[in-house]
């Protein structure tokens, strides 16, 4: 556990428009805000649901802090579509190229241009293994704020609801997270048919681009297939069991 008496330091919280990162920001302010400088930074992604920005504004009011923006200067549009077109790649076992360019590289560019001492990510108690891996492979100056307080992902939802903040609309539409609509790291046919139902234009855009690039984004009957081969009644992994992370790195567990 980190020493709560950290003083006169700069702590940056990476805010993803999800419940966990919002609560991580709140707990960081409560624990360290009186004796340190807190900065909260968001990677703006064009393809996230538009209501994510409403949630961000609501969180600014709740936290009493302005949330800054960070982008990769090589992709000023902050568009995953532009990343896919440039790299001719979408996702694979190593993660999604959009997360690498628009979140990880954007974070590293921000870090290069801004002084800070510690960072906070929205790793919950149920994701301690991911926090440990990040500390081992990326940076060890990470404060496990949610883990130290035993806060789970479900508890984060409870805290946000109790604060009177409406969760991003994407959750209400049945999606398991506040990632981009049509997240290319998701491989469940259940997920992709939900995208097709709720956002047919986005489904068609991913279908066309992924076919052109050669990316088989979903599974059906145990085989990777293109989206245009996916039956409309196909069902795969339950969305409740699907945990696709799109933070500083991206993975499906």
* Tens digit of each residue's pLDDT (9 = 90 or more) over 166-180: 999 999 999 988 889
> Per-residue pLDDT averaged across 132-139, rounded?
89
Helix, strand, coil abundance in the chain, percent, nearest 5: 45, 15, 40
Task: Delimit the domains of the chain by residue range.
Answer: 10-77+96-172, 189-229
Q: What is the pLDDT of residue 149?
A: 96
- How many Å apart are CA 251 and CA 54, to the nearest integer? 26
pLDDT classification of 242: cutoffs 50, 70, 90: low
In terms of pTM, does the model score above 0.85? yes
In this prediction, residue 243 has a pLDDT band, given cuts at 50, 70 and 90, of low
What CA–CA distance (Å, rounded) separates 223 from 23? 38
Number of other CB atoms surrounding residue 197 within 10 Å? 12
Would you call 73 helix, strand, or coil by DSSP?
A: coil
% of residues, the chain, pLDDT over 70: 93
Mean pLDDT in residue range 187-206: 97
pLDDT in tens, 83-99: 999 999 999 877 899 99
For residue 240, the model assigns a pLDDT of 64
The matching CATH number, chosen from 1.10.600.10, 3.40.50.2000, 3.30.465.10, 3.40.50.620, for 10-77+96-172 is 3.40.50.620
């Amino acid at each position: 556990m980190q020493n709560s008496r950290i003083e006169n330091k700069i702590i940056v919280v990476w805010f993803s428009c999800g419940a966990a990162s919002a609560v991580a920001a709140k707990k960081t302010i409560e624990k360290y805000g009186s004796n340190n400088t807190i900065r909260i930074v968001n990677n703006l992604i064009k393809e996230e649901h538009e209501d994510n920005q409403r949630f961000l504004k609501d969180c600014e009011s709740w936290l009493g802090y302005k949330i800054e923006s960070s982008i990769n200067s090589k992709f000023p549009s902050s568009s995953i579509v532009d990343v896919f077109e440039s790299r001719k790649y979408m996702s694979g076992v190593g993660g999604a190229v959009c997360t690498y360019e628009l979140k990880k590289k954007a974070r590293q560019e921000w870090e290069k241009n801004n002084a800070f001492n510690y960072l906070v990510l929205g790793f919950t108690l149920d994701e301690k293994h991911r926090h440990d891996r990040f500390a081992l492979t990326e940076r060890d100056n990470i404060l496990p704020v949610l883990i130290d307080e035993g806060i789970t992902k479900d508890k984060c939802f409870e805290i946000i609801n109790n604060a009177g903040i409406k969760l991003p609309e994407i959750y209400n539409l049945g999606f398991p997270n506040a990632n981009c609509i049509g997240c290319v790291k998701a491989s469940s046919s259940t997920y992709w048919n939900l995208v097709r139902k709720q956002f047919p234009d986005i489904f068609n855009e991913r279908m066309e681009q992924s076919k052109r690039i050669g990316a088989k984004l979903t599974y059906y009957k145990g085989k990777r297939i293109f989206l245009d081969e996916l039956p409309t009644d196909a069902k795969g992994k339950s969305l409740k069991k699907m945990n696709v992370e799109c933070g500083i790195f991206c993975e499906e567990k």
